[in-house]
Chains A and B, each alone.
Chain A
Amino acid sequence: MATPKIISARFDEKKAHTLEGYLALGGYATLKKLFKMKPDEVIDEVKRSGLRGRGGAGFPTGMKWSFIPKNTDKPKYLCVNADEGEPGTFKDRLILERDPHALIEGILICCHAVGIKTAYIYIRGEYDFPLARLGAAVKEAYANGYLGKNIKNSGVDVDVVIHRGAGAYICGDETGLIESLEGKKGQPRPKPPFPAIVGVFDCPTVVNNVETISALPWIMTNGADAYAAIGTEKSKGTMLFSISGMVERPGVYEGAFGVNLWKFIEESTGGVKGGKKLKAVIPGGSSSAILTAEEARNVNLDYESIAATGAMVGSGAIMVFDEDTCVVEALEVVLRFYAHESCGQCPPCREGTYWLYEIVNRIRTGRGRPEDIDLMLAICPDMLGRTVCVLADSAAIPAASYIKKFRSEFEAYIDKANPPERKLHPGGINFEARAL
């Protein structure tokens, strides 16, 4: 079967981002059918499709919606998570830039299914161009009756508000996003209560990723069965994979679940850049465990198969290390990221990410001690599952896996007699830089 294009179908259409272009490609066609359906029928359809959240956690979308209380006097909200921030992930950006009306159509489907009248799209602050495209699309949708009151005489009202973030990875966490949307620091909330019960503005809230929402029009048009027929038993449909790092043609590639991971990477991108040898693959963003070249060649790309290796599909951010990529410095870069992005609430994260970073930095700069490697391995479990959100885990999981799978590289840095040859400029580590 040829790779089906569900999310990326219109990415190469020059005018798909405009209402005119979107309509010409069959956009908003599903609304007539949608507004005739009962909300529960829509939820059932989405449940049957097997669609899972594409933001990273992979939670079944229909089930998430069904947790929203039916009989409540409070307003309900949809928060669309466009705070794409997991290093390696750049796929929502394409949807926002090239197919924003698919997102709006998806929002209408979710809002109708759950009984929501206001949707907030939380977009990361750095996404200037996606913000401009999305803003224009929302404006057009309002002007033409696809948003606002009594949409296309259906009696359904949906308002969309675009909310711009201001630079904080943690706002991609669903409760971090909610806090930020409420005008606070984006510090995740302890759960329970879950957002479905107490979400934004203390009201029941659905938080869905851009890609998840954008898959809905296709599912409603083609039916849940058509979607569920793609992929594997538990990983249904397709997903956008952001492939970057040392490959010939980095980019966003839509793939069906269940194919061989390395084969998918190779066929999509042309393989390792410059014909170099493959060293490792990160399959699901920088917070995932790493796969050795051999593991990457032998695993299928679906939630369960990848999870069985200890890694994750996450947000579909695949990063490829070639033979010259230094795993020690890569870990330093990853840990610096998490130390910088820790919101600072929980000590195991606030202090742990910093501690791990300090140690790997000292190893990489030739100041490591033989006991440092085991010290890092001892610290990691104290950061797993100990905090409000999973940012600490996101640092500890790669740290432990890089060390376990490439221990000799770490040891080489510590072995004063044989320090590895430095290939890359030592990227200055500078926390103060943020202060500017």
Chain B
Amino acid sequence: MSHARHAIAPSGKPFAFSPDNEAKFAQLLPKYPTKRAVILPALWLAQEQEGHITVEAMEYVARRLEQPAVAVFAVVEFYTMFKTEPTGKHHIQLCRTLSCWMRGYQDLQGLIERKLGIGPGEKTPDGKFSFELVECLGSCGTAPMMRMDDRYWENLTVEKLERIVDACNQGRDPAGEDH
């Protein structure tokens, strides 16, 4: 298995918390006895603000919390949910661990690959979808399932997933297809 880690380079875009996030950040600080403990929550704010975490955002968080930038970077690289590149508008995280495997996540992957033309780690050219295979999301009783748009989609079948994807493609709320 070869390995190609994508290079993480500055985006060239300066980062600062929005006024909303600045207020949230101010509320976070007194909740912890150390500034370092605020790294994860602060990174969440940064990611929510820009959709992913830029090099500038890491430097910003490090500066605000008086931490070495490289320590913040190591944290970003450790946790799978922190993204250093923009994901698609709809980021599909399809679970592939035991119960979802038994219940046939493979067919769902097949549908995504056929219908959207993207494999794991890829993004559609229009930026609408990106796709990632993930490990157990803690929803084994409703396998197979996926996470997309900050929510779970459970008891999936190929047909149901197709309806969800279609809704996204047609600009409708896919929640209407979750039945």
Chain A contacts to B: CB under 8 angstroms: 75, 84-90, 92-93, 124-129, 159, 161, 163-169, 180-186, 201, 242-246, 250-252, 282, 286, 317, 319, 321, 325, 329-330, 333-334, 336-337, 340-341, 343, 358, 424-436
Question: CB distance B123 to A90 under 8 Å?
Answer: no
Give Cα distance in the complex from A54 to B99, angstroms. 21
Residues of A within 8 A of B131 (CB): 436
User: In the complex, which of the residues A75, A88, A167, A433 has the most CB atoms of chain B within 10 Å of its own CB atom?
Assistant: A433
In the complex with contacts A250-B140, A250-B142, A436-B121, A87-B135 CB distance below 8 A? yes
Give Cα distance in the complex from A244 to B44, angstroms. 31
Residues of A within 8 A of B75 (CB): 183-185
Is the C-beta of B26 less than 8 angstroms from some C-beta in chain A? no
Is the C-beta of B106 less than 8 angstroms from some C-beta in chain A? yes
Residues of B within 8 A of A432 (CB): 3-4, 120-121
Residues of A within 8 A of B50 (CB): none
- Across the interface, name the chain A residue whose C-beta is closest to B34: A201
Residues of B within 8 A of A125 (CB): 79, 81
Question: CB distance B34 to A93 under 8 Å?
Answer: no
Question: CB distance A163 to B40 under 8 Å?
Answer: yes
Residues of A within 8 A of B44 (CB): 164, 166
Residues of B within 8 A of A435 (CB): 5-6, 121
Is the C-beta of B54 less than 8 angstroms from some C-beta in chain A? no
* Chain B count of residues within 8 A CB distance of the other chain: 67
Question: CB distance B83 to A436 under 8 Å?
Answer: yes
Candidates B41, B81, B141; contact of A252 at CB < 8 Å: B141
Residues of A within 8 A of B119 (CB): 428, 430
In the complex with contacts A182-B37, A183-B36, A169-B141 CB distance below 8 A? no
Question: CB distance A340 to B135 under 8 Å?
Answer: yes
Question: CB distance A341 to B34 under 8 Å?
Answer: no
- Across the interface, name the chain A residue whose C-beta is closest to B122: A436
Residues of A within 8 A of B78 (CB): 168, 185-186, 343
Question: CB distance B79 to A167 under 8 Å?
Answer: yes
Residues of A within 8 A of B133 (CB): 427-428, 430, 433
Question: CB distance B123 to A436 under 8 Å?
Answer: yes
Question: CB distance A337 to B97 under 8 Å?
Answer: yes
Residues of B within 8 A of A88 (CB): 98-99, 136, 140
Contact with A along B74-107 (1 / 0, CB 8 A): 1100111111010100000100111101111111
Give Cα distance in the complex from A268 to B79, angstroms. 36
Question: CB distance A424 to B106 under 8 Å?
Answer: yes
Residues of B within 8 A of A430 (CB): 119-121, 133
Give Cα distance in the complex from A186 to B80, angstroms. 12
Candidates A84, A167, A252; contact of B82 at CB < 8 Å: A167
Question: CB distance A161 to B101 under 8 Å?
Answer: no
Question: CB distance B102 to A161 under 8 Å?
Answer: no
Q: Which of B17-25, B144-152, B159-167, B168-176 has 4 or more CB atoms under 8 Å from chain A?
A: B144-152
Candidates B40, B96, B98, B151; contact of A245 at CB < 8 Å: B98
Cβ contacts A to B, 22 pairs, < 8 Å: A75-B33, A87-B99, A88-B99, A126-B138, A161-B32, A163-B40, A164-B41, A181-B37, A183-B65, A183-B75, A184-B36, A201-B32, A245-B98, A246-B103, A250-B140, A252-B141, A333-B97, A337-B135, A426-B106, A427-B101, A430-B121, A433-B120
Give Cα distance in the complex from A126 to B40, angstroms. 14
Give Cα distance in the complex from A325 to B110, angstroms. 19
Residues of B within 8 A of A87 (CB): 97-99, 135-136, 140
Residues of A within 8 A of B82 (CB): 166-167
- Across the interface, name the chain B residue whose C-beta is closest to A180: B40
Is the C-beta of B31 less than 8 angstroms from some C-beta in chain A? yes
Candidates B31, B97, B123, B139; contact of A93 at CB < 8 Å: B139
User: In the complex, which of the residues A164, A325, A425 has the most CB atoms of chain B within 10 Å of its own CB atom?
Assistant: A425
Residues of A within 8 A of B121 (CB): 430, 432-436
Residues of A within 8 A of B40 (CB): 163-166, 180, 183
Known: A166-B44, A201-B33. 16 other contacts (CB 8 A): A90-B138, A126-B137, A127-B138, A128-B151, A164-B44, A183-B39, A183-B67, A201-B32, A245-B99, A250-B140, A251-B141, A333-B96, A343-B78, A431-B3, A433-B133, A434-B80
Residues of A within 8 A of B147 (CB): 126, 128
Candidates A185, A186, A282, A424; contact of B104 at CB < 8 Å: A424
Q: Write the nearest CB–CB distance from A411 to chain B, whole angstroms.
A: 22
- Across the interface, name the chain B residue whose C-beta is closest to A343: B78
Question: CB distance B99 to A427 under 8 Å?
Answer: no
Residues of B within 8 A of A337 (CB): 97-98, 135-136
Candidates B65, B74, B151; contact of A129 at CB < 8 Å: B151
Give Cα distance in the complex from A431 to B137, angstroms. 17
Give Cα distance in the complex from A431 to B147, angstroms. 19
Residues of A within 8 A of B3 (CB): 431-432
Q: Write the nearest CB–CB distance from B55 to chain A, whole angstroms.
A: 16
Residues of B within 8 A of A434 (CB): 80, 121, 132
